[in-house]
């Protein structure tokens, strides 16, 4: 509906603040001073709006007095149908939102299920790998020369990306949803987050010597590459070259070097 | 520097493949340079007991007013980063950085203030990051904990900012290589026996960083480095232990060849954590207490007793692990003569360390004859010096 200044005042709306905004002009205080103006009378937006309200009320009151019954009924009917129309519009909008929200929950649930499946896969691959590694370790002739164990191939899940999607979904869904389901949404988000991190950290591991309970998981190879490429991009501001680093001197290593070279020569 | 990313990726791939395809006879090790070690190797050859006293001069590069030998050592530690090189007069020069940082709000005032106070910083993601020792002081002022790029001997997977900061720190410690591809041996943890950690990843990261600085990176397990710097007089035969902040690294060596090496994820930080929890104080206070110069053979009061208890426990744990691993390994060389055990690293610097070590040693039936248990000459610099020895020996 376009704002109208005159015509049927009941079925049109007039946006006073917008109209004000359109008509104001901005002049720098300095310019005013140049024109010789030393004081300015200021009327704030709220004052203008209340003035407009007052004027409209007065006009409506006087006009209503002059209306005959037929006109009055007509106006009442119009008002009623306008109101109904607004309610219907609002309801259908609400329904759409609700539907979108439910779709999203469904979607998140599906993601959770697929993550869970991937986790199970990763875990069984890990076990299988650990078993192989164990066999290798046992069979190996020398402990020192036995290399570390390679990471298990990772299921390709970018948990950050996933978390981002979930965050967006939650933020979006939150906007207009009934507040009673916020908690439900939060719960779901938390469990998906937990699951996602479990998948990432559970996805690569060295198998053989985990005698202790302490497990520190390395980032995935993708994460490693991402870190490196981030690192190469920007020049990092610092003052490191302006500050002296702690220095020390220690006994020479010439004797060690001589011994080592000698030993090597003798064994060649 | 696409070079850097490429290298790290390739290095990572390569090691992953080596590791994945390693069959039992394939004696490749990702943790130290076996090819190099093999070239020293021939246990059956008798080595005459002659002491070499000729000064060996490493190749020297002259850059303006200073002449330094080619080859660098770098101790990559949880608590400290230590670089080393040999100057023209044969002295070892070292640079030391605390491997810690703290981030503070970024503005011009702070920027100028920090530079004026001689405090190093790096700007990462719009925050000012203070690195090194001042990070500890600032952490105290702001009542916060420092952030640590490494944890238990490895690059920390929880610390997203770790890589750019480590790169900066390495740049201040190493400068430009004297010639492109100058060898830099850097310390890496041996296989951890009580934690499931990825040494390959850690090694790849630092290899990549060093390559990016123009060096040819070569990893050396930390205990092996201690052997190189402290056991020359024993023909590099004996046990080197690096008692660090994040871990203990053990290497049993025979004529410079590691026969057994492993690490445990208990070190100075472990003592701090445990002392803190029994006394109900913060870890950094516990660390201060530990470093203030106490003697664990003669603890004074409850707090010092707590430190002593955990030190004893840690030493006993280390000895027990050496014994078990030694006994369960089928490929141990015969050690014809009694050996020396040398301890290095910051955690060995507490008063009474060797005495308590000897007491705990007496309690177990150790599988080797030991003639001596002693501290390294420079406990904090020993690993870096060992790396330097390895680097100099290969820089021809
Ligand atoms: N005088 C001292 N007494 C006791 N402990 C000390 C002393 N000085 C330093 N330390 C401890 O030594 C540890 C640091 O030692 P060091 O620099 O050898 O470790 P790192 O090489 O950085 O670690 P890691 O080898 O485990 O990765 C810290 O736990 C520190 O609290
Ligand atoms: Mg160390």
Bridge-partner residues for B130, per DSSP? B102, B121
The most confident of the ranges A30-44, A85-99, A107-121, B89-103 is B89-103
Query: What residue spans define the domains of chain A?
Result: 7-66, 101-213
- Asked if B176 is an interface residue toward chain A (Cβ–Cβ < 8 A), one would say no
CA distance A268 to chain B (A): 7
* ipTM score of complex: 0.75
d(CA A13, CA A23): 18
B187 CB contacts (<8 Å, ≥6 apart)? B74, B75, B76, B77, B219, B220, B221, B222, B225, B242, B383, B384, B386, B387
Q: Do B131 and A240 touch (CB under 8 A)?
A: yes
d(CA A181, CA A187): 10
Predicted pLDDT at B315: 97
- Asked if B49 is an interface residue toward chain A (Cβ–Cβ < 8 A), one would say no
The token pair at B170 is: 């390495």
Sheet holding B215-221, edge to edge: A246-250, B92-98, B80-86, B72-76, B182-188, B215-221
Bridge-partner residues for B155, per DSSP? B150
**Hey, which of B187, B245, B357 would you mutate to test ligand 1's pocket, going by the most ligand atoms within 8 Å of its Cβ?**
B245
Give the residue from B7, B390, B396, B388 showing the smallest Cα distance to B174.
B388
d(CA B129, CA B146): 11
Would the pLDDT of A119 be above 60? yes
CA distance A185 to chain B (A): 27
d(CA B189, CA B226): 12
Q: Do B229 and A149 touch (CB under 8 A)?
A: no
B138 CB contacts (<8 Å, ≥6 apart)? B102, B104, B119, B130
Q: Is the CB of B380 under 6 A from ligand 1?
A: yes
CA distance B102 to chain A (A): 14
- Which of B115 and A268 is assigned the larger pLDDT? B115
Predicted pLDDT at B379: 97
Please write the tens of the pLDDT for every residue from B91-141.
999 999 989 888 888 888 888 888 887 787 878 778 888 887 778 777 766
Would the pLDDT of B57 be above 90? no
Q: Is A145 in contact with B260 (CB distance < 8 Å)?
A: no
pTM over 0.90: no
Please write the tens of the pLDDT for every residue from B360-370.
999 999 999 99
Predicted pLDDT at A188: 53
DSSP code at position A192: H
- The shortest CB-CB distance from B19 to any of A147, A255, A268 is to A147
d(CA B79, CA B191): 19
Find the angle CA(B31)-CA(A266)-CA(B255) to the nearest 5 degrees: 40
Residue A162 pLDDT grade (very low, low, confident, very high; cuts 50, 70, 90): low
Q: Is B263 in contact with B222 (CB distance < 8 Å)?
A: yes
Q: Is the CB of B349 under 6 A from ligand 1?
A: yes
Nearest CA in chain B to A214: B195
Instruction: Classify B373 as helix, strand or coil.
Output: strand
Residue B299 pLDDT grade (very low, low, confident, very high; cuts 50, 70, 90): very high
Q: Do B235 and A259 touch (CB under 8 A)?
A: yes
B10, B11, B56, best to mutate vs chain A, most A CBs in 10 Å? B56
Q: B4-395: CATH homologous superfamily?
A: ATPase, nucleotide binding domain (3.30.420.40)
- Asked if B324 is an interface residue toward chain A (Cβ–Cβ < 8 A), one would say no
Question: What is the phi/psi pair of residue A139, to 5°?
Answer: -75, -20
d(CA A205, CA A31): 71
Q: Is the CB of B78 under 6 A from ligand 1?
A: yes
Q: Is B244 in contact with B47 (CB distance < 8 Å)?
A: no
Q: Do B28 and A205 touch (CB under 8 A)?
A: no
Q: Is A188 in contact with A107 (CB distance < 8 Å)?
A: no
């Amino acid at each position: 509906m376009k704002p109208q200044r005159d015509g049927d005042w009941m079925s049109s709306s007039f946006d006073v603040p917008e109209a004000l905004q359109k008509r104001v002009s901005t002049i720098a205080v300095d310019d005013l001073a140049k024109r010789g103006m030393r004081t300015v009378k200021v009327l704030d937006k709220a004052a203008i709006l209340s003035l407009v309200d007052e004027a409209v009320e007065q006009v409506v009151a006087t006009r209503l007095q002059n209306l005959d019954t037929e006109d009055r009924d007509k106006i009442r009917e119009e008002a009623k149908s306008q109101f109904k129309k607004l309610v219907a519009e609002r309801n259908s909008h609400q329904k759409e939102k609700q539907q979108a929200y439910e779709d999203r929950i469904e979607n998140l649930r599906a993601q959770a299920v697929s993550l869970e499946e991937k986790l199970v896969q990763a875990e069984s691959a890990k076990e299988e790998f650990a078993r192989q590694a164990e066999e290798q370790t046992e069979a190996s002739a020398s402990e020192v020369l036995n290399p570390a164990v390679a990471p298990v191939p990772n299921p390709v899940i970018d948990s950050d990306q996933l978390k981002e999607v979930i965050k967006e979904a939650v933020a979006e869904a939150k906007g207009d949803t009934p507040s009673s389901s916020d908690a439900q949404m939060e719960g779901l988000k938390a469990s998906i987050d937990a699951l996602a991190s479990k998948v990432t950290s559970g996805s690569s591991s060295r198998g053989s010597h985990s005698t202790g309970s302490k497990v520190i998981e390395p980032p995935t190879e993708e994460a490693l590459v991402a870190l490196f490429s981030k690192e190469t991009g920007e020049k990092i501001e610092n003052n490191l070259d302006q500050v002296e680093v702690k220095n020390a001197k220690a006994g020479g290593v010439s004797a060690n070097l001589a011994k080592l070279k000698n030993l090597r020569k003798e064994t060649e | 520097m696409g070079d850097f990313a490429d290298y790290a990726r390739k290095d990572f791939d390569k090691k992953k493949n080596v590791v994945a395809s390693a069959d039992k006879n394939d004696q490749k090790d990702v943790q130290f340079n076996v090819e190099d070690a093999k070239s020293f190797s021939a246990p059956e050859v008798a080595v005459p007991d002659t002491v070499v006293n000729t000064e060996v001069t490493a190749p020297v590069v002259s850059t303006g007013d200073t002449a330094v030998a080619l080859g660098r050592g770098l101790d990559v530690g949880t608590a400290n980063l230590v670089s080393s090189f040999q100057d023209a007069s044969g002295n070892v020069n070292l640079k030391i950085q605390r491997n810690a940082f703290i981030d503070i709000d970024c503005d011009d005032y702070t920027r100028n203030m920090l530079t004026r106070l001689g405090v190093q910083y790096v700007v990462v993601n719009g925050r000012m990051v203070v690195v090194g020792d001042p990070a500890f002081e600032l952490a105290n002022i702001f009542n916060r904990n420092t952030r640590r790029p490494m944890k238990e001997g490895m690059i920390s997977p929880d610390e997203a900012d770790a890589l750019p900061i480590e790169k900066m720190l390495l740049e201040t410690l190493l400068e430009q290589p004297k010639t492109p591809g100058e060898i830099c041996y850097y310390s890496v943890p041996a296989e951890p026996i009580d934690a499931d950690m990825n040494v390959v990843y850690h090694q790849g990261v630092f290899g990549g960083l060093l390559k990016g600085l123009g060096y040819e990176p070569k990893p050396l397990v930390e205990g092996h480095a201690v052997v190189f710097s402290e056991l020359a007089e024993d023909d590099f035969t004996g046990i080197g232990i690096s008692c660090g902040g994040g871990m203990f690294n053990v290497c049993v060596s025979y004529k410079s060849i590691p026969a057994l090496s492993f690490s445990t994820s208990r070190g100075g930080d472990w003592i701090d954590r445990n002392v803190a929890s029994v006394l109900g104080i913060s870890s950094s206070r516990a660390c201060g207490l530990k470093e203030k110069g106490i003697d664990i053979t003669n603890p004074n009061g409850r707090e010092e007793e707590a430190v002593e208890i955990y030190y004893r426990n840690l030493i006993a744990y280390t000895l027990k692990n050496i014994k078990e691993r030694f006994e369960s390994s089928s490929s141990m060389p015969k050690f014809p003569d009694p050996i020396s055990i040398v301890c290095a690293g910051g955690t060995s610097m507490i008063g009474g360390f060797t005495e308590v070590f000897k007491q705990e040693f007496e309690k177990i039936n150790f599988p080797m004859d030991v003639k001596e248990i002693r501290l390294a000459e420079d406990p904090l610099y020993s690993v870096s010096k060992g790396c330097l020895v390895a680097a100099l020996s290969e820089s021809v």
